[in-house]
Amino acid sequence: MEKSESKIIKKCQSGGTSEFGALYDKYIKKIYDFVYYKTMHKQTAEDLVSDVFMKALEKIDLFDEKKGTFNSWIYRIARNTVIDYYRTKKSELNIEDVWDLSSNENIDLDTDARMKIEKIQEHLSKLKSEQRDIIVMRLWQGMSHAEIAQVLGKSESSIKMMYSRVMSQMREEVVVAILCYLFIK
Amino acid sequence: MKNNIKTILKDMYMIDDSLKKHEKDLIPLIERIIESRPDTKFDKKFAKELRMQLLSNTSSLIAQDKFFKKIINTFKSMANIYKYAGVVGVVVFLAFVGIYTAGQKGINKLAFAPEISKLGSNAFGSLVSQDGKGTDTAQERLGTDQALAESEASMLGSEMTKSARSSIAVPSAGFGGGGGMAVGERMIIPSPIEYNYTYSGEDFELSDSSVSVLRRVKGEVGSSGIVQQIKSMNIGIGDLSSFTNTKIQNLSFYEDKDFGYYVDVNFREGMISIYENWEKWSNPLSRCTDERCYNDNRLTIQDVPSDDELLSIANAFLSDYGINAQLYASPEIIDDWRKVYESTGDESSVWVPDQITIRYPMLVDGEKIYDQGGNIVGLNVNVNVRYKRASGVYNLRVNKFESSEYEAITDVKKIIAYAEQGGMTGPVFYESNGMTNVGENVELGTPEKVMVQIYNYSNGLSNELLVPALRFPILNKSDDATFFWRNSVIVPLAKELIRDAVLPEPRPMPVEDVIIMDSAEPVSPPEGADIIEVNE
């Protein structure tokens, strides 16, 4: 953890009222983007991000830098907030983000996002939520394997392995899809 | 992007070298995923607003935490006293633990930062009180929370305050200014003066067709858990659990030590008042039985701390008790007494107040709040001049509001006409010299937008409303008119309030407020002036 960030967190934990703003400024865009990738809806993402930072503020006393970085801590809050949101909304335990919802369901999705993800939706939807998170964090957010590992509470090597398998799996699907396309044609 | 893909591929090959042979498949796959990244439409305005909300909540939360920790420590120290005396202390202690716990569960339980939730248009019904007067008068305001705070502030005065109340109090707008001052002259009842207001400011326009009116949300803040705890205890004098649908209205406690405080938590109004535990603030005047003793012990102008010192004392108190001053605008010292002091020929005859109020203007939605008389509304901290200590805090409130749109007035001519009639409180004030002085001219300058606090009475309940308004500053306040305390005229921008307003009528003489100082030398009254003596 950066020394300055560590200092800021310590100040927050000891009652520094204005210090949280520095943490917020650093993480708001990253967390918002992450939540958006899991909801594909601006309003929902904004509501959930508000909850994420409220929770972070309330629970900052519980943050322990010995157990991980603030980055991974707040990502975990964001991830759990999204999971809670969909589980509460759908009353189904296996729904963790918008990708888990059937495309037939009446869900709020930004139109342009829907169009943009059209090409990969089929592939990503087949992945588990955790696998998708790895792809999103690695390819859309440029996070390192180590950072992803901390967010997901796994070792770096296991994340590397999962990532490799996911890419391999997706490649196979693409190849199969192309062959099917050629065969039908 | 190609470099980026190369890096990604390199990473993958390090993990699984066999993937290299599939590179021609992997490259388009990775490209497709990266290209499919949607635009997240990150909204900087949203981020800014959330930041503001978080920071105000941070302040509230931490302030709240500090405040209640301090209170709990107080109770912890009291616990031994009550160990053998009964369970009352424990009950109260548990009650506050309840508050504290409630406060920890959610940021806004007792947050002091303004919080506004939006309702539909005209959601509060008529803004005009059921009595049809449109806005409240000072008398009507009594009985409301604000009035309670004010009356507590002024009535729970020290012995010196009692003395000061024997004189004509400075008609400042102070909330809890306490003390007041007295002039050692035989005073006469001030005669009313009808001022002629004339607008001399710049032209202005109003285009908004509606205004957002705020209504303060009150009611049993965080008290339900406390009631349950209290009801569950058997205190041996009755079965409290037999009461149903119970809520806590007030909780009070005091510090039994020198310069201790008395704290009153009003759950129903969402308000906390702190004032001196009078038994523990020694006042030499309370033992005086003759004039010499009073004169020997009375305060002089030299006893009054400098403005910087007053502000420093008030700020330190708020900080110590975790009350967040950052939620208010820059504090101001209420020093109407000083104007009287400086305008009096014989300064030794002026009674210097024992308490001075420092006001922290309340901010809601970034706007300052004014009362109908044009005085700023805010958090008030009293400083005891004799001991140079903060002696009380008034109007510390939960600022939770509902907002609703109401039709706005845009007719500038009507607004100016209303302002020239004295705005919401009318044109009449009292002059100190007792001379009939009708027709004094007062100039009103270009207005600024503010919020005015009014009380609306409906079904026997009073609602506190904040209504967007224009504040017209008074430009030519006369130095001679000592008691002409008004600084501005307020005109509400909700059309209904002006349309239905009954123009203010001259006020009655304040007979009960005017009391003669027995010790003062009589002076000849101005010719034609009536003298009324009131014996205590």
pLDDT category at A49 given cuts 50, 70, 90 is: very high
Residue of B nearest to A18 (CA): B55
C-beta of residue A78 within 8 angstroms of C-beta of residue A31: yes
* Model pLDDT for residues B337-347, shown as the tens digit of each residue: 787 777 776 76
Measured between CA atoms, how close is A73 to chain B, in angstroms? 18
Strand B271-276, strand B389-397: pairing? antiparallel
Contact B103, B221 (CB under 8 A): no
Strands B441-444 and B196-199: parallel
Query: Under 8 Å CB-to-CB from A153, ≥6 apart: which residues?
Result: A76
What is the band of B80 on the pLDDT scale with cuts at 50, 70, 90? very low
B455-493, pLDDT tens digit by residue? 887 777 778 899 999 999 988 776 555 455 678 899 999
Element holding B118 (H helix, E strand): strand B115-118
CB neighbours of residue B366 within 10 Å: 9
What pLDDT shows up at residue B183?
45
Query: Nearest CA to CA, how far is B33 from chain A (Å)?
Result: 6
Q: How confident is the model at residue A2 (pLDDT cuts 50, 70, 90)?
A: low
Distance from CA of B111 to the nearest CA of A (A): 13
Q: Cβ of A168 and B19 within 8 Å?
A: yes
Report how far apart, in Å, the C-alpha atoms of B430 and of each of B157, B350, B486, B510 are: 25, 20, 11, 9
β B400-407/B115-118 pair status: parallel
CA distance B480 to A153: 76
Mutation target for B interface from A136, A167, A179: give the one with most B CBs within 10 A.
A167
DSSP codes of every residue in B438-456: TT-EEEE---EEEEEEEEE
Q: What residue spans of chain A are helical by DSSP H?
A: 3-13, 20-39, 42-59, 70-90, 111-116, 118-126, 129-135, 145-152, 156-184
Q: What is the dihedral of CA B497, B500, B505, B510, to 10 degrees?
A: -50
Whether B325 has its CB under 8 Å from any CB of chain A: the answer is no
| Reported confidence tier of residue B78, pLDDT bands at 50, 70, 90 | very low
Asked if A77 and A43 touch (Cβ cutoff 8 Å), the reply is no
pTM flag (> 0.80): no
Task: State the best of B27, B40, B64 to mutate against chain A, taking most chain A CBs within 10 Å.
Answer: B40
pLDDT grade, residue B350 (50/70/90)? confident
Alpha-carbon distance values, B264 to B82, B124, B137, B270 (Å): 20, 30, 26, 11
Residues A98, A104, A109, A114, Cα dihedral to 10°: 100
On the question of pLDDT at B167 being above 50, the answer is no
Q: What is the ipTM of this complex?
A: 0.84
For residue B167, give the nearest of B351, B296, B293, B386 by alpha carbon: B351
8-state DSSP, B279: G
Q: Which of A131-135, B124-128, B411-415, B530-534 has the lowest average pLDDT?
A: B530-534
Q: Do the Cβ atoms of B54 and A112 come within 8 Å?
A: no
